Structure 1
Amino acid sequence: MSTIAFIGLGNMGSPMAQNLLASGFHVQVFDVDVNAARQLEPFGAVVASTLEEAVDGAGTIITMLPAGAHVRAVYLGDLHGGVGLLNIVQDNALLIDCSTIDPDSARLVANEAQNKRLLFVDSPVSGGVAGAKAAALTFIVGGSDEAFSKANAILQYMGKNVFHAGKAGDGQMAKICNNLMLGILMSGTCEALNLGIDHGLDPKVLSNIMLQSSGRNWALELYNPCPGVMDSAPASNQYNPGFMSKLMLKDLGLGLDAALQTNSSVPMGSLARNLYAFHNAAGHAELDFSSLFEFYKNQKG
């Protein structure tokens, strides 16, 4: 199997890299937190101390980073001495960025990669930590047909769905639209459940009724935000993430930024963003995003 460099080993990146190792790839890993990288050594990963070491001999480079600023710095270089991946990878390398960032940053990196005759795709993911661990992620890819075809051959080992959204940046835009809708759905689900509970309804009974009615949605079916209703949901496990509330706030912010660029109307997205801002400010940023239910519980009138 070919050599892959994996850069960024947080809650998502680490299990994704593990799945590549389990599939037989030679994986060279790097993270600014060296302990995060060393945790993959028992699975066969080679720990690199620099980006240069990580990409040495790697035909494919995968990144999973927190935000657009990090992606720009890692790929293009920065003022702190970082040379930039685009300047150190081998000729004809394939670059796959799985971060969720603003489309403009993805397009900027894609253009610079094209100028250097490198293949680049933006490939944000959906499915959360559980999906990453189970190799069941959905990848939403933006890039050329050639780049998508080559990336697809790698992404299949970490997920169950790979979509070609369109040109560079379109993967990010599709992911932003999805998470805008998810934030709205979770907010509405929390609101409806809390209203029913306030009027004396059993949340399990109410959830079952809505699951068989027109209010059925992903949050209600697979991620119920009310503690005790669904054993496997973060709500029944002290809201252990999952997908942290601060990340939902980030993604909703990306949605609002995108809306400003096109003067698109996003009143529900704006409200969801504000709800998560209040919730996070109350000390819940590190909890699962379904913990917004607790915000509703604590509000009266």
Structure 2
Amino acid sequence: MARVAFIGLGNMGGGMAANLAKGGHDVRAFDLSADALERAREKGCSAVASAAEAVADADAVVTMLPAGKHVRDVYDASVFGKAPTDAILIDCSTIDVTTAREESAKARAQGYEMVDAPVSGGIAAADAGTLTFMVGGSEDGFAKARPYLELMGKAVIHAGGPGAGQAAKICNNMLLGASMIATCETFVLAEKLGLDLQTFFNISSQASGQNWSMTSYCPVPGVGPETPADRNYEGGFATALMLKDLRLAMEAAESVDAYTPMGSHAEELYTRFLELGGDGKDFSAIIRMIAEKAD
């Protein structure tokens, strides 16, 4: 049994921390939300009063935080110099590549191994322990982090050096955002052309247009497997989070002079959808905006 500090118990972090506790580890959890701490306690974690208290004597530190600023603040103020230097530092937040590399360099300078390990899979996968982790860091860091990540995910993939996990995550989610929009457009067009949408799904899911947004996360209620569309687009992956990832992708593209017209247009459309009130809905709910524009 290892001592694991887990900082950040939101929609994703809560389930992840619970799976580490279920795996037999002594999980010392911290979050600014008292409700989140109570839920973590109910799922086998020990609630502590601060991030610094969580990391004391830890074998591993896992963070799941909203943005790069929060990662910098937590690591600089409460992890570096507070956690033992032989603890593996695992940041599962989705943040910009530059911050991930900077924090990794600070960790290395102080004798720590640190990996960036953003996730794919959403809340249900976090609760079920079936996330996919894209890991950036050294081979030694990856080897130390892997046993903890495997308790929280179905796939743990070493993407490369520091920042590579974040690069893989934002590239993946840029593709996801753009493909969801195309999938939504396609269903709207199919309906206007008089096609039965379940029939169209049966065809396209086995033809060259097949993609994850259609076959695993269909944006049409009652078509394909159960998705947030069947729950009035509640739960799942919030539009605000998709837009955050698209903006990170656009920042990264600009920094390396990459031409990403589809990613840029996806960012514009999700910005419009959020401004129209879609921020609290799953990102697949953008089909509603597309259908309304088509009317």
Normalised by the length of structure 1, the TM-score is 0.96
Using the TM superposition, give the Cα deviation of residue 227 of structure 1 relative to its aligned residue in structure 2, in angstroms: 1.5
Gaps of 5+ in 2: none
Asked if residue 199 in structure 1 is aligned to residue 211 in structure 2, the reply is: no
- Residues 1:184 and 1:28: Cα distance change in structure 2 (over 3 Å): same
Cα shift at 1:282: 0.5
Deviations 1:30-87 (A, max 9, x none): 00112101112122211011112111221100000011111111111xxxxxx23112
Q: Determine if contact 1:230/1:236 at 8 Å carries over to the other structure.
A: no
1:101 to 95, 100, 114: 95
| Number of the residue aligned with 2:226 | 232
- 1:51 is aligned to 51
1:256 counterpart = 2:250: yes
Partner SS, residue 87 of structure 1? coil
Aligned length: 295
* Structure 1 gap ranges (5+): 77-82
Which residue in 1 is equivalent to 2:114?
120
Separation (CA, whole Å) in 2 of partners of 1:50 and 1:221: 43
- The equivalent of 1:80 in structure 2 is none
Higher mean alpha-carbon deviation, 245-254 vs 231-240, is at 231-240
Deviation, structure 1 residue 231: 5.3
Does 2:180 match 1:186? Answer: yes
Give yes or no for the alignment of 1:155 onto 2:155: no
In 2: Cα distance, 1:102 partner to 1:149 partner = 23
In 1, the alpha carbon distance for the partners of 2:78 and 2:27 equals 20
Letter in 1 for 2:283: F
Kindly report structure 1 stretches of 4+ aligned residues shifted beyond 3 Å: none
* Residues 1:278 and 2:272 aligned together: yes
Question: Partner residue of 2:10?
Answer: 10
Partner of 1:169: 163
Q: State the shift of 1:230 in Å.
A: 3.4
Partner SS for 1:151: helix
C-alpha separation in 2, matches of 1:300 and 1:130: 32
Greater CA deviation, 194-203 or 279-288?
Answer: 194-203
Q: Aligned-pair distance for 1:225? A: 0.2
State whether structure 2 residue 205 is matched by structure 1 residue 223.
no
* Aligned twin of 1:295: 289
Contact kept, 8 Å, 2:239 with 2:279, in 1: the verdict is yes
Alpha-carbon separation, structure 2, partners of 1:231 and 1:257: 34
| SS at 1:95 equivalent | strand
Contact 2:181 2:266 in 1 (8 A): yes
The TM-score with structure 2 as length reference comes to: 0.98
What is the alpha-carbon distance in structure 2 between the residues aligned to residue 42 and residue 32 of structure 1? Answer: 17
CA distance, structure 2, for counterparts of residue 151 and residue 231 of structure 1: 33
What is the identity, as a one-letter code, of the residue corresponding to 1:31?
A: D
Q: Per-residue CA shift, 1:173-211, capped at 9, x if unaligned?
A: 011110010011101000000111122221111111111
Partner residue in 2 for 1:111: 105
Determine the C-alpha separation between the residues in 2 that align with 1:60 and 1:122: 13
State the shift of 1:102 in Å. Answer: 0.3
Identity of aligned residues (%): 44
SS at match of 2:220: coil
Q: How does 1:10-29 map to 2 (within 5 A)?
A: 10-29=10-29
**Root mean square deviation of aligned Cα:** 1.0
SS at the partner of 1:28? strand
CA distance, structure 1, for counterparts of residue 280 and residue 65 of structure 2? 17
Q: Is the 8 A contact 2:185 2:287 kept in 1?
A: yes
